[in-house]
Amino acid sequence: MISLFIVGTHLFRKYQFQKRVEASNIYQSMLAAVQNEDLDKVKALGIQLENCYKETPYAQLSALILAKIAVDEGNIQAAIVELRQVFCTCGQTLLSHVAKIRLARLLHAIGDNKTALKELEGSKNGYEALYEEVKGDIYLTLNQEDKAKKAYQNAVSISQGVNKLPWLQLKLLDLSMREEKIA
């Protein structure tokens, strides 16, 4: 009985490893197609990864690429679906935060600022500075300069030990110059 369990476990692990190798190979082919600008092949391989290997990080990486292509083609709804799929399927990982931030920026770019701000709520697990920066950009567009300034200051404060983020300093300086012009 125990030997049957050990053999079954070994076969299952071998199967999982083989699936990851297959997904990796498909993703490498997808990257080559991106480089060759063969968008039909990129899309086909991305869909294959999403349908057959959705439990792998390669599916999430391909969704980020498919979202970029969708934006480039003007298909914003398809990009939104791809980005949401990433953070819905991969939990609190780097990729989920990349997807949330890209989604918020995309929603902001199309003028859906309320939804963009809503997407930035919740757990940030170490990416607070990036979330705050995007919030600042959105608030600035909404002419809510006090909220923008606070968000940028939060981002700078959070990132002090990690990186000085000079572009945030420039955004704060720009806001200060606007305030001086008004006064």
- Tens of pLDDT, residue by residue over 101-140, are 999 999 999 999 999 999 998 777 788 989 999 999 999 9
Contact in structure between 42 and 33 (CB atoms under 8 Å): yes
More confident residue, 78 or 56: 78
3-state secondary structure of 8: helix
| 125 conformational bin, left if phi > 0, alpha if psi -120 to 50, beta if neither | left
Contact in structure between 127 and 101 (CB atoms under 8 Å): yes
Q: Confidence class of residue 178 from pLDDT cuts 50, 70 and 90?
A: confident
What does DSSP assign to residue 151?
H
Q: Confidence class of residue 165 from pLDDT cuts 50, 70 and 90?
A: low
Q: Which pLDDT belongs to residue 28?
A: 97
Q: What pTM value is reported for the model?
A: 0.82
| pLDDT tops 80 at residue 65 | yes
| pLDDT tops 90 at residue 33 | yes
Q: Packing angle between helix 57-72 and helix 2-35, nearest 10 degrees?
A: 20
| Average pLDDT of span 22-51 | 96
Q: Which pLDDT belongs to residue 183?
A: 59
3-state secondary structure of 147: helix
More confident residue, 75 or 177: 75
| Average pLDDT of span 146-169 | 80
Amino acid at 161: G
Q: How many CA atoms lie within 13 A of 166 on its CB side?
A: 0
Q: How many CA atoms lie within 13 A of 72 on its CB side?
A: 8
Q: Which pLDDT belongs to residue 30?
A: 97
Q: Which pLDDT belongs to residue 151?
A: 93
Q: Which pLDDT belongs to residue 149?
A: 92
Q: Which pLDDT belongs to residue 4?
A: 67
Q: How many CA atoms lie within 13 A of 153 on its CB side?
A: 8
Contact in structure between 129 and 165 (CB atoms under 8 Å): yes
Is residue 40 within a helix (H) or strand (E), and if so which, with residue range? helix 39-52
Percent of the chain at pLDDT exceeding 90: 57
